[in-house]
Amino acid sequence: MEKIKNIILKLLYPHWLITFLTSILSVVGLVLVFKNHIEYSLIAILSYIISFYSLVVIVLFFIKYGPKIYKKIVTSLMKNKYIYKFYHDLTFKTNVLLYSALAINLSFVVYKLTTGILYNSIWFIVLALYYLLLVIIRIRLVVFTSINKIGKNLIAEHKQAIKSSLTLLLLNINLIFILILVIIYGEKYVFPGVLIYIMAFYTFYSVISSLINMIKFRKYKSPVISTSRIVSMAASLIMLLGLETALLAEFNVDNDNYFNQIMIGATGIIIALTILGLSLYKIIKSVRYLKKIKKAEL
C-alpha cells in the first residue's frame, strides 16, 4: 500500500523537467490537432491525455508550493521602495493605477480617431469618443489625487465623484451609439488569430479584478477611489461587450444575424443599466453627504 502511495505521489509531483516536457508536448500536440482538424485521431487523444496530466500536475504544484513562492516574491519585491510605497501608500497606488489607465486610454483615442478620419469611419470615431470620455474622467481624478491626499478632504472628493459620475452617464449614451452600430449596421470588434483568446482571458480577468477591487476598496470610504473603481468596472463591461461581438462573429458558423443581434442587444442593455445604476448610486450618495454636511454647518 505504501509503495502504491509513493508511485501516485511521484506521478502527481514529478521532477520539474518532466512537467516542463509534458507541458511542451501538450501545447505542440494541441496546436497540431486543431490546426490540422484531426480532433478524433490517436494523436489528438494522446494530446488530450498529456494536456490533462500536465494541467493536474501544475495545479497541484501551485496548491502545494504557491503560498511559499508568493511569500518569497512579495518579501523580495517589498525591498524596493517604490513597490513598498505602492502597497502601503493609498494615494500613490491610486495615482499609479490612474496614470497607467490614462496612458492606455489616450493611446486608444489617438489610434481610433486617426483611423476613423483616414478611413472616414463613424465606427472608429464613436470608439474614439468612448475612450475620450474615459480620458476626461481619469484626467479629473489624476489631477485631484495629485493635489489632494486620499481620505483627507471628503467634501472635495464627493464633489469630484459627482462630476466624474455625470461624465460616466455620457459614456452610457456613447454605449447606445456603439450598440446601434453593432446591431443595425453590423460593426464589430476584430481580434485576428490567437489574439481573440488572449483578449478573452484579459477581459474576464479585467471584469473579475474590477469587481473584486470595487468590494475590496469600499473599506477606505473614499469617494474618489470608489469612483475610479466604478470607471474601471464600466470600461471592463464595455470591453466584455466588444469581446462578445468578436466571438459571435468568429464562432457563429451558421451566421445567424438575428441570434447575434438578440445576444448583443441583451448584453448591451444589462451593461448600460449597470453603468447607469452605479453612476446614479454614486451621485445620490455624494449629494446626500454634501447636503448632510451643509445642514450640519447651518
Cell of 119: 478611413
Phi, psi of 112 (to 5 degrees): -65, -40
How many helices (H) does the chain have, and how many strands (E)?
10, 0
Q: For the packed helices 257-297 and 223-251, what is the interaxial angle rounded to 10 degrees?
A: 180
Q: For the packed helices 2-12 and 42-77, what is the interaxial angle rounded to 10 degrees?
A: 80
Measured between alpha carbons, how far apart are the two ends of the chain, in Å?
Answer: 81
Angstrom distance (rounded) from CA 119 to CA 52: 46
Burial class for 1, CB neighbours closer than 10 Å (0-12, 13-18, 19+) = exposed
Angstrom distance (rounded) from CA 151 to CA 142: 15
Cβ–Cβ contacts within 10 Å for residue 247, how many?
A: 17
> pLDDT value at position 36?
80
- Reported as a single tens digit per residue, the pLDDT across 225-237 is 888 888 888 888 8
Q: Mapping DSSP to helix (H, G, I), strand (E, B) and coil, where does residue 13 land?
A: coil
172 and 275 Cβ atoms separated by less than 8 Å: yes
> pLDDT value at position 77?
77
List C-alpha distances in Å: 193 to 177, 204, 240.
Answer: 27, 18, 18
> pLDDT value at position 189?
79
Cell of 184: 443595425
> pLDDT value at position 284?
92
Q: For the packed helices 81-88 and 90-118, what is the interaxial angle rounded to 10 degrees?
A: 100
> pLDDT value at position 221?
79
Cell of 285: 450618495
Burial class for 79, CB neighbours closer than 10 Å (0-12, 13-18, 19+) = exposed
pTM for this one? 0.71
Q: Which of 183, 291, 287 is nearest to 244 (CA)?
A: 183
Question: Over its length of 298 residues, how does the chain's per-residue pLDDT go in tens digits?
Answer: 677 777 777 878 888 888 888 888 888 887 887 778 787 788 888 888 888 888 888 888 888 888 888 788 878 878 888 888 887 787 788 888 888 888 888 888 888 889 888 878 888 888 889 889 988 988 888 888 888 888 788 888 899 999 989 988 888 889 888 888 888 887 877 777 677 778 888 888 888 888 888 887 777 778 888 888 888 888 888 888 888 888 887 776 555 677 778 888 888 899 899 999 999 999 999 999 898 888 877 6
26 and 54 Cβ atoms separated by less than 8 Å: yes
* Structural domain spans, the chain: 2-77, 89-297
